[in-house]
Each structure stands twice: as C-alpha cells, then as structure tokens.
Amino acid sequence: MSDAPLYYGDYLKLDRLLDCQDLESTRQGATAHDEMLFIIVHQAYELWFKQTLWELDAVLGHFSAEPVEERDVGRAVGHLDRILEIQRVLMDQIDVLETMTPLDFLDFRDYLVPASGFQSVQFRLIENRLGMDPARRLDIEGTPYKARFTDADRERLRASETRPSLFDHVERWLERTPFLEFGDFDFWAAYREAVDTMLANERRFVEDNPTLPPEKKARELKSVDRTAEQFEALFDRERYAALRDEGTFRLSHRAFQAALLINLYRDEPILQLPFRMLAALMDVDENLTKWRYRHALMVLRMIGTKVGTGGSSGHEYLRRTAEQHKIFGDLFKISTFLIPRRHVRRAMGFRFGADRGEAGESGARP
C-alpha cells in the first residue's frame, strides 16, 4: 500500500489524457466545432486498439505452448470474447461520428492532409497479429501499405509480419488434434463413407423423383456432381495442395481436417471448447469485415467519391478491403463440407471416454 492516498485523476493521468485534443482548425485561426468530436472518437479507437493488442498478446502466449493446455484454450476464448465486445463498441462509435454532417467535416478536413486513418499502426499490428496474409493485402494507390508510415512504424510492422501469428499457432494446434486417428477410429475414412452415402441418397432421390421433368432432373444431377467434386478436392491431398497454392485454401490439409472434425463433433464435451475457439476466431474476422464495410459507408456518406486525406480512393479502397482482407476464411468454408447429423451419428460414431488412454495423455490436449 502506498503511504499517500491514490487520487482518481492521478491514477488515470487525466491531466495528460484530456490535454491531448489539439484542434488543427484552432491553430489555423478558425476553430471548427466538430473537430473535437473527430479527434476524441479516433483517440478512443486507438485506446481500444491498444486493449485489443493486449488481449491478442495473451491469446498468442497461450497458443505458443506445445501442447496447448485445455484450461488455456478457455482463457483464450475469454480474451477473444472481450475483443468481440470491443469490436461492437468500435462499430457503435461510428454512430457517434455520423452525428457530424459532411459540411461540418469540410470545415476542417483540408487541415488534415496528408494524415489518414490508413496510418493507424496499431490497427495494422492487430491485422498482423491475427495473421493477415501479406500477399492478400491491397496496395494503396499502387504502393504497399507500409509506405505511408514513418521509418520507425514501418519497422514495427515489418517485424510483426515475421513473427508467428495467431493463424500460425492455431494451424499448428489443429494439426496436433489427436482424434483424427486413434484406436480403431479413422475419422477421414468414416467421413468419406458418410459423404458417399449422403451423395448417393441425393442422387437416388433425384433419379427416382417422378415429379421432376427430364431437364430439371438433369440440372439437379449436375448440382449433385458439382457437390461431389467439391468433396473430392477435400479427399485428394494433392488436389487440396494445388488449391492451397492457388489461394483457395490457406490451412494445411490436416488442420482443415481437424477443424472439420471439431465442427462435426462439437457436441462432444471434449470438443466443445475447441469449437468455441474456432467460432470466436470467425466472429472476430466477421466483425472486422463489418467494421471495414461500415467505415466504407461512413466515408462515402462524408466525402462521397472524393480522394481521401491520405490520397487514396477512400470509400472504394475500404470496400475492397472488406471483401478481401479476411484472415480465417477457411473456417467459413467448413460449412461447405458439413453433413447432416443423422449421417454423422450413423456412420461416424465418435468415441472418447473409457478409451482415453489410447490417445495418450498429451493427445487430449491439441
């Protein structure tokens, strides 16, 4: 305990924090009222970005271990849940910012050039810690995203791209999933049998349906064939590797298998926590997409199709990042390969409990 009582304002450094709003319009001799709102909202963003990085570092710490302890998976999910709540706050802040009209923004917009939200180094660090693929990043007006930063910040970003990301750690964690083969259970063989049964039933249903005219029946059978081709790419390791090289998939074949197993057997107690982990990663990725798209709409509302203060195309660039800058896209693809529960139960009876020793003590912790 300190001898001197702790004072609220001193603890939060409020004298410094509340003195950080220097209006550029005031410096130029004509104070624009809404510039205060603009600064505070963006400073709040940066504070929440700092907290997000704090939570991500904790998740990375848990998942850098081999094996990852089950209790630590639960802790990681807790950190990701907190990030999800922060992301909701970030989206709500756009509502506050949009109380500023486009004309209000024009009162001080020109004073901001060439500063831009593109230069938020913390947001870029968040993307890199999560595992943004540098090869999928969009250039900004023909230049790499790091080109808009100072030398010091550019080095921070470069270093962050060379360290193992959460995507890297999760991929290795999935690859260590013990339940793909243990005892006399071969998940992949059982899954293929279940898929073949499902597709055969669908094909038979179309062929034996007397209400379908010949042309409609032909179209439905082609649809079943296309579905079979998608599954075949998953069963064929070489074809999967080729698709991965093309960028269709990013996870390794074994990691994708494990993610599929976890989704199919998420009701099993031993896999409920891993499923929550994968679901949280998808939620974080989805919220980033929502925030980018919402941000793009706000920019369109504020400046239309004008060039942004950072010299980019503004709305168009942000809209494209919402479409392309996804990190855990493979987890969203899992739904393509899910099969009805009745096929899972009948052909793939998952067993884990009395035989736990067969998987080995470390096998229970991917």
262-306 tens-digit pLDDT: 999 898 888 999 999 999 999 999 999 999 999 889 988 888 866
Residue listed under structure tokens 């081999």: 66
Give the chain's radius of gyration (CA, Å): 25
User: For the chain, how many residues are written?
Assistant: 366
Which top CATH class is 8-364?
mainly alpha
> If we measure between CA atoms, which residue out of 190, 168, 313 comes closest to residue 260?
190
Residue predicted with more confidence, 327 or 145? 327
The per-residue pLDDT for 359 is 43
The per-residue pLDDT for 315 is 74
Q: Are 257 and 187 in contact (CB under 8 A)?
A: yes
Question: Could you give the percent of the chain with pLDDT greater than 90?
Answer: 64
Instruction: Report d(CA 235, CA 255) in Å as an integer.
Output: 13
Q: Are 179 and 187 in contact (CB under 8 A)?
A: yes
Instruction: Answer whether residue 364 shows pLDDT above 60.
Output: no
82-92 tens-digit pLDDT: 999 999 999 99
Question: Could you give the percent of the chain with pLDDT greater than 70?
Answer: 90
The per-residue pLDDT for 313 is 60
Residue 257 corresponds to which tokens in the numbers above? 């298998």
Annotate 35-66 with DSSP letters as a single string.
HHHHHHHHHHHHHHHHHHHHHHHHHHHHHTSS
> What is residue 2's DSSP assignment?
-
Read off the pLDDT band of 246 (50, 70, 90): very high
Domains of the chain, residue spans:
8-364
Q: Out of 28-42, 84-98, 233-247, 316-330, which region has the weakest mean confidence (pLDDT)?
A: 316-330
**Other C-beta atoms within 10 Å of 81: how many?**
15
Residue listed under structure tokens 């179309």: 206
Q: Are 172 and 318 in contact (CB under 8 A)?
A: no
